[in-house]
Amino acid sequence: MINEITCFKAYDVRGRVPDQLNSDIAYRIGKAYAEFLKPKQVVVGFDIRLSSEELCTFLCKGLTSAGVDVINIGLCGTEEIYFATSHLKTDGGIVVTASHNPADFNGMKFVREESKPISGDTGLNEIKKLAEKNEFVDATEAGVVEFADTQAAYIAHLLEYVETDKLKPLKIVCNAGNGGAGPTIDALEASLPFEFIKLHHKADGTFPNGVPNPLLEENRKPTIDAIKQHNADLAIAWDGDFDRCFFFDENARFIEGYYIVGLLAQSFFEAESGSKVIHDPRLTWNTIEIAKASGGQAIQCKTGHAFIKERMRKEDAVYGGEMSAHHYFRKFSYCDSGMIPWLMVVELMVKSGKKLSELVDARMKAYPVSGEINREIADPPALLKTVEEKYSNLAESVDHTDGLSMNFDNWRFNLRMSNTEPVVRLNVESRGDEALMLEKTDELLSLMV
């Protein structure tokens, strides 16, 4: 009898330790990854969670027993694995991380050569089946583990996205949330003219200040207080593996990731005429309008880092952005980074002479949004069906790229099941009418019971 491994999701692995993910499962995942991909050399690393190093050790044992050589870069952020895989020209990479999930969770993200993602559509389901079957034969010659430090090369690459000699002093609050962002900020600091006010800076897998997830409003207060206390120019906060970054302006106002997508998209359109950007279906109108005004192309794609990356490669898009604060860059092997966006935004502030609020205010007024609202729903498919039936006669268009998106004359919404958590997510936006957006948000929430 094959025992199901329940920690495999749509495009990564996430589960509670030790019942859903443990050393035995990590070992089997290493063996399965090796059998599926048949790599010669793989980069691995791990985040700051208390279980991460042990899981990484057993992952490496699975890989090496299958004859794979491993380069272990140690404690790192997810994007450092993406960088190292391409930089070292290995056949793949795996990072042990559970991002912003609860402290007792862990997981893994996988790439192949050139940091190409492995999702359910491109091999993750096969890896799952092999791990469940657990019928492996050891290689005649085991692989070896060597340790490497790629941070200096990674930092040098990050600095290529800005003209450091043209930057000016700014006061920046940075909240690492006791996740992995702190060491990278420390390494960047010597090359930048900024004063960093560091909050929850020390990596600590016990998460003494709560799980690092700035999307949760209750996690934002320390950042907001620090902006006010230090009269800072802006603030940045990260999730645990810092592949997402979140912005607060000089007024201590949280800026939805949607508007940062538009800001960065516009920057790339101006730099590369006719270029393409990829966006997710949850919030779209602002990005589409910016593309039309700039002569670029905005292309919609299913939500999720693996899907965005695959579409970016297909279209050779210069940039991809999700309203959940994932930002992807062609020069970064089409991968997401939580460091490149804030460097680019700060450079835009300096070059334009504008505050962050001035860079986003007009777009926020043009397209007010609800912010993502999550609800646990007993029967999500039934909910989506009910909502579609209720609004089908009124909608100008209906789209099922990811969940249910319905467009009306002056407002639209997206309702979808999460790929990583047992919730349904709602996003609503309108054309310049905040009252209408709030009204329709309440209307939809009344159905989400």
Looking at the fold, whether 231 and 302 belong to one and the same domain comes out as: no
Write out pLDDT tens, residues 302-345: 998 888 999 999 999 999 999 999 999 999 999 999 999 999 99
Whether 234 is in a domain gets the answer yes
> Among this protein's residues, is 99 annotated catalytic?
yes
Q: Are strands 373-375 and 335-336 parallel, antiparallel or unpaired?
A: unpaired
- Range list of H helices, 369-433: 380-391
| pLDDT (mean) for 103-108 | 96
User: What is the b/e burial string over 167-191, where b = at least 16 CB atoms within 10 angstroms of the residue's CB?
Assistant: beebbbbbbbbbbbbbbbbeebeee
For the chain, the residue count is 449
CATH number at residue 440: 3.30.310.50
How do strand 13-16 and strand 105-112 relate by DSSP bridges? antiparallel
Regarding whether 98 and 187 lie in a shared domain, the answer is no
Mean pLDDT (the chain) is 96
Number of Cβ atoms within 10 Å of the Cβ of 350: 17
18 and 136 in a common domain = yes
Of 30, 52, 29, nearest to 42 (Cα)? 30
Query: Is the pLDDT assigned to residue 147 strictly greater than 70?
Result: yes
Nearest partner of 177 among 122, 145, 222, judged by Cα: 222
1: pLDDT strictly greater than 50: no
Strand partners, 387: none
Same domain as 159, residue 210: yes
Amino acid at 200: H
The model's pTM is: 0.96
Nearest-angstrom CA–CA distance, 337 and 191: 19
3-state SS, residue 145: strand
Does the pLDDT of residue 188 top 80, yes or no?
Answer: yes
Domain hosting residue 168, numbered range: 153-255
Based on the fold, state whether residues 245 and 268 are members of the same structural domain: no
First-residue to last-residue Cα distance in the chain: 38
CB distance 267 to 348 below 8 Å: yes
In the chain, % of residues over pLDDT 90 = 94
Q: Return the closest-CA partner of residue 147 out of 89, 74, 77.
A: 74
The active-site residue, picked from 99, 267, 294, 430, is 99
Reported as a pLDDT band with limits 50, 70 and 90, residue 121 is confident
What is the CATH number for 174?
3.40.120.10
Q: Is residue 347 part of a domain?
A: no
User: Using the 8-state DSSP alphabet, how is residue 288 labeled?
Assistant: H
Domain count, the chain: 4
* For residue 278, pLDDT beyond 90: yes
Are 40 and 145 part of one and the same domain?
A: yes
